Every structure is written in structure tokens, then in C-alpha cells.
Amino acid sequence: MASNVQVILSRDVPNLGRIGEVVHVKPGFARNYLLPQRLAMPISRGNLANLEHHRRMIDKRMGELRSASEDTAKRIAEEQVTITARVGKNGKLFGSVGTRDIAALFKGLGYHIDHRDIKLDAPIKEVGLYTLDLRLEADVKSQIKVIIAGEEIEEELDAVEEPAAEDSEEVEAQGEEGVEASEEEATAAETPSEVVLATPEAVETDV
């Protein structure tokens, strides 16, 4: 089983560490993900002497990231976005709004933030205006404003309207008239309207 390797992070990596930290990871994770994505720099026992050099490079990178994050923090703090969700008559949401929903909304506006950097103690389940803390790269702090607007859904009626009493009586009467008419037609078909008897012709006889 291969032992872990040491790397120094050149970017913040969720669930791993912040920029400038030295962490221990699996060799495959470092080789296949961290190093190709330039998220970390390798450190080995043989080049620990170069650690200070790596740190200087990281510090320079951190300064660039901090400057970019501070600019983003100012712009994003001026934003006020709205999420529309279905609610009942009591103002409660059908479901909830979480950090993934909020991060996806800001991504659509051009802000690439990680949902794990949005501070939200519990999913939002009511309409209202929420101001949430946000941590950007290089440990820059900011805030975002989110409005949860409700879209009320009317409850469907279980009862189905019944036809009016008058209409029902009229339909019933029409049905009875139709039955009587049918019976009369059947009787008329069985009984001839007039029977004509033929008169026998006189027959002459010889006397």
C-alpha cells in the first residue's frame, strides 16, 4: 500500500485545506487531480529545502487571489438576487432552499463561488430577505443578499360540481318522453292502421 505524499496547496481546495497549507494526500489523488489542475505543488523529503521557495511562490499567488477576491467581494455585496419558490397559504415553502441553489444562482450571474463557502445554518423554508456570510478565496469575507419570494399554489378542490337540479329534472323528463315515444312507435308497427277486405265478384251460373 503506497504511503501518502506531501503537497503544498496553491489554491483553496474544499475539504482539504487552504492555500499555502502543507497536506498529506494519496499519491493517485495528487498525480491525477491536484497537480494537473495546478491546485498544489509536490513536496518530497528530498526537496524539503525548496519549501521556502514554494512558499514564496504561494505567497505571490495568494496576493493575486486576494486582490481578485476583494474585487469580487465588493461587487457581489451589491447584488440582491431573488429565488421564487412555491409556498402554501401560511408562507411556508414546499421544500427548502439550500446553499447549492444559491451558488447556482450566482454562477448564472458570473460569480464562481463554492456552495460550501456560503454560511447557512439550516435550509431556508420561509419567504423573506436573507443576508448570508460568504468566504472567498484567500480568506476574503463578504456577504450576499437573497430574497425568497413565494408563489402561492391554490389547493385543488376535491368536490366536483354536480349538475343543477333543474337540469337533471329536464334531462330525466326528456328520457321518459323518449321511452314513451319508442313504445308508441313499436305498437304502431305491430297493428295495421286499416284492414281492407276484398269483395268477392258475382259468379254467373247456368240454369
User: What is the per-residue pLDDT across 107-137, written as a single tens digit (0 to 9) for each?
Assistant: 999 998 999 999 999 999 999 999 999 999 8
pLDDT at 201: 45
In 3D space, the residue among 76, 68, 141 whose CA is nearest the CA of residue 111 turns out to be 76
Total number of residues shown for the chain: 207
Domains parsed from the chain with CATH numbers: 5-66 (3.40.5.10), 79-152 (3.10.430.100)
User: What is the per-residue pLDDT across 153-173, written as a single tens digit (0 to 9) for each?
Assistant: 655 434 344 444 445 455 455
Higher-scoring residue by pLDDT: 52, 3 = 3
pLDDT at 133: 96
Main-chain dihedrals φ then ψ at residue 172, nearest 5 degrees: -65, -40
CB atoms within 10 A of CB 139: 13
Can you tell me which residue has the cell 499555502?
Answer: 20
What is the rounded CA–CA span in Å between residue 30 and residue 36?
Answer: 8
Burial of 12 (0-12, 13-18, 19+ CB in 10 A): buried
DSSP helix/strand/coil, 202: coil
**Cα 131-72-123 angle, rounded to 5 deg:** 30
Contact 4, 24 (CB under 8 A): yes
What is the rounded CA–CA span in Å between residue 14 and residue 121?
Answer: 18
pLDDT at 142: 95
Q: Is the pLDDT of residue 188 over 70?
A: no
Higher-scoring residue by pLDDT: 47, 53 = 53
Burial per residue of 93-116, b for 16 or more beta-carbon CB atoms within 10 angstroms, e otherwise:
beeebebebbbebbeeeebebebe
What is the rounded CA–CA span in Å between residue 98 and residue 118?
Answer: 10
Main-chain dihedrals φ then ψ at residue 67, nearest 5 degrees: -60, -45
